[in-house]
Amino acid sequence: MSLVGKKAPLINAPAVVNGEEIVENFSLDQYIGNKYVVFFFYPKDFTFVCPTEIIAFQNKLTEFEKRDVAVVGCSCDTEESHLAWLMTPQEQGGIEGVTYPIVADPAKVVAQKYQVLAGEYAYDEEGELYFDGIPVAYRGTFLIDKEGKVRHETINDLPLGRNIDEMIRLVDALQYVEKNGEVCPANWEEGKDAMKATKEGVSDYLAKNKSN
């Protein structure tokens, strides 16, 4: 079931912050009332698509921060693995220079809460416990508002990298809606027309944008 419209699941887990410091009890609760959050999952440290996404988020971090958005990553690796990867130069396959928090979820509890785990535990006919699937997180991305409610989620399969600019567009759309009380139509971007959520509003918008 989708988490959209629901309170973001609580987490309390180790994380690496500022690219160098392990904290034991990291929680998204610290942002409630203060910041929006883009909370994203990636499959695994020391892989190939994952560093391109993680570094792309870092490259756009200023854009998120000026919109009052905290970026937080998470995978099912340990905090020690995160730290080792963060200390590895980018030209050697690392993610050195990433400063936003990266949560460690080796018990897969956070991934399970956010429904992004690429498999599940099960029992075979002999009663033996096994994992059906791959014990990593899909590429889940969650936009959480200042009240701690999930307003958007996407979940990509493992080989499909996400578009970071699209997350910025969605932040802009959410903030526009909150500020202006209008809704954002298809392909809306900052500076384009929005519309009122009425039949007249739709008609006016379509008439005004007929050529598009």
User: Can you tell me the distance from the alpha carbon of 179 to that of 189, in angstroms, rounded to the nearest whole number?
Assistant: 15
Are 161 and 49 in contact by the 8 Å Cβ rule? The answer is: yes
Could you say which architecture CATH assigns to the domain 13-161? 3-Layer(aba) Sandwich (3.40)
156 token code pair: 């990509």
Instruction: Name, in order, each residue with C-beta under 8 angstroms of 22's C-beta and a sequence gap of 6 or more.
Output: 14, 15, 16, 79, 80, 83
In tens digits, the chain (212 residues) has pLDDT values of 899 999 999 999 999 999 999 999 999 999 999 999 999 999 999 999 999 999 999 999 999 999 999 999 999 999 999 999 999 999 999 999 999 999 999 999 999 999 999 999 899 999 999 999 999 999 999 999 999 999 999 999 999 999 999 999 999 999 999 999 889 888 899 888 888 888 887 888 788 887 55
Q: Which of 50, 74, 76, 184 is catalytic?
A: 50
Condensed to tens digits (0 to 9), the pLDDT of residues 121-148 reads: 899 999 999 999 999 999 999 999 999 9
Domain parsing of the chain, residue ranges: 13-161
Are 20 and 83 in contact by the 8 Å Cβ rule? The answer is: yes
Condensed to tens digits (0 to 9), the pLDDT of residues 47-80 reads: 999 999 999 999 999 999 999 999 999 999 999 9
Residue 76 bears catalytic tag: no
